[in-house]
């Protein structure tokens, strides 16, 4: 009932207001002390260069302080804390002990979509937005599939024709999930947790309730009613998705691969009206025109995919063999690049 969207946009304006240079260092140091920010990790350590609190909040860190575990097939996409993880049973994800929420509702498999205009991607612009190394730029799509053991779009179609693939998983595999919470003091860019192909994104213009652990324990179906962006695709074991979830005071969620995305918009400007959200309605954009072979955007483990303007949550949902094991503990603090799987 609270006007959280209006309050969040107002907070965004306040956080983006220019801070006089003489106050910046003392203000940001006070913020860092309050929320345990590690200023030594900042890529640009000069605090006077950050013109607003929002710029400081969205600061970048030195690449060397977030090494990517190359031995792990799945790593953390964010700096944050582990809230929940485990196997998905009957397409239900455990939010906290005692109640669950629907996987279909989270990703929009039981609702209606409004298709957006097809993006004509500029390859050079896409490569630049992902900050790719030369080896990534020069990797052909055929080599990408072979190197990371991912099925081509043709292989995927054959499996579906042979009834060997449903909405989420192949026969013999299981579905797993992992929920990671970012506090106000964390680094707020999110990166790719694995080598995969992003086929489409779905934008749900929902509410902006807080996603702090206390609220997660109180509000049922929190992650299916909040504004979120579901990135959907496939990896070496099949289905893979990554869903950044908006929250109170999140000015926007940014995607490096899609600068057309606009979040936290007034309801009158949204593609999908507010009253339709609870029925699973969303706007969808496909990336299949990037590659005929891949039917999506090839993403390498560790590549930056976007970020939040304030604290929030990322939900991973993926299929894997029955032997898949997590390498994390509940409420564990974790950084980008650390192994999630054994």
CA 38 from chain centre, in angstroms, equals 23
Other CB atoms within a 10 A radius of the CB of residue 269 amount to 8
Q: Which residues are catalytic, by number? A: 79, 191, 312
Closest to 94 (Cα-Cα) out of 167, 206, 207, 175? 175
Residue 67 · residue 337 · CB < 8 Å: yes
Q: How far apart are CA 206 and CA 272, in angstroms?
A: 9
Q: DSSP readout, 99-158?
A: EEEEHHHHHTTTS-EEEPPPP---HHHHHHHTT--HHHHT--HHHHHHHTT---HHHHHH
Contact, 34 vs 303, CB < 8 A? no
């Amino acid at each position: 009932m609270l006007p959280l969207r209006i309050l969040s946009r107002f907070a965004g304006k306040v956080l983006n207001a220019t801070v006089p240079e003489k106050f910046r260092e003392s203000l940001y140091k006070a913020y860092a002390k309050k929320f345990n920010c590690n200023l030594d990790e900042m890529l640009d350590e000069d605090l006077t260069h950050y013109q607003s609190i929002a710029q400081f909040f969205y600061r970048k860190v030195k690449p060397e302080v977030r090494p990517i575990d190359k031995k792990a097939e799945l790593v953390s996409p964010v700096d944050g804390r582990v809230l929940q993880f485990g196997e998905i049973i009957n397409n239900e994800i455990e939010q906290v002990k005692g109640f669950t929420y629907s996987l279909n509702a989270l990703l929009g498999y039981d609702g209606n979509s409004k298709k957006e205009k097809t993006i004509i991607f500029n390859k050079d612009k896409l490569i630049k937005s992902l900050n790719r190394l030369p080896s990534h730029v020069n990797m052909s799509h055929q080599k990408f599939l072979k190197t990371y053991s991912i099925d081509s779009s043709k292989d995927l179609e054959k499996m579906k024709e042979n009834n060997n693939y449903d909405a989420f998983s192949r026969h013999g595999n299981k579905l797993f999930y992992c929920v990671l919470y970012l506090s106000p003091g964390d680094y707020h860019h999110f990166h790719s947790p694995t080598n995969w192909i992003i086929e489409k994104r779905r934008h749900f213009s929902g509410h902006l309730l807080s996603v702090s652990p206390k609220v997660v324990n109180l509000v049922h179906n929190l992650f299916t009613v909040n504004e979120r962006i579901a990135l959907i695709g496939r990896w070496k074991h099949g289905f893979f998705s990554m869903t950044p979830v908006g929250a109170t005071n999140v000015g926007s969620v940014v995607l490096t691969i899609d600068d057309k995305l606009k979040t936290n918009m007034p309801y009158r400007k949204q593609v999908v009206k507010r009253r339709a959200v609870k029925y699973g309605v969303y706007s969808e954009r496909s990336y299949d025109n990037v590659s005929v072979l891949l039917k999506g955007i090839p993403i390498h483990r560790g590549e930056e995919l976007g970020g939040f303007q304030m604290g929030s949550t990322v939900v991973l949902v993926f299929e894997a063999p029955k032997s898949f094991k997590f390498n994390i503990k509940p409420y564990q603090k974790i950084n980008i690049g650390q192994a999630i799987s054994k």
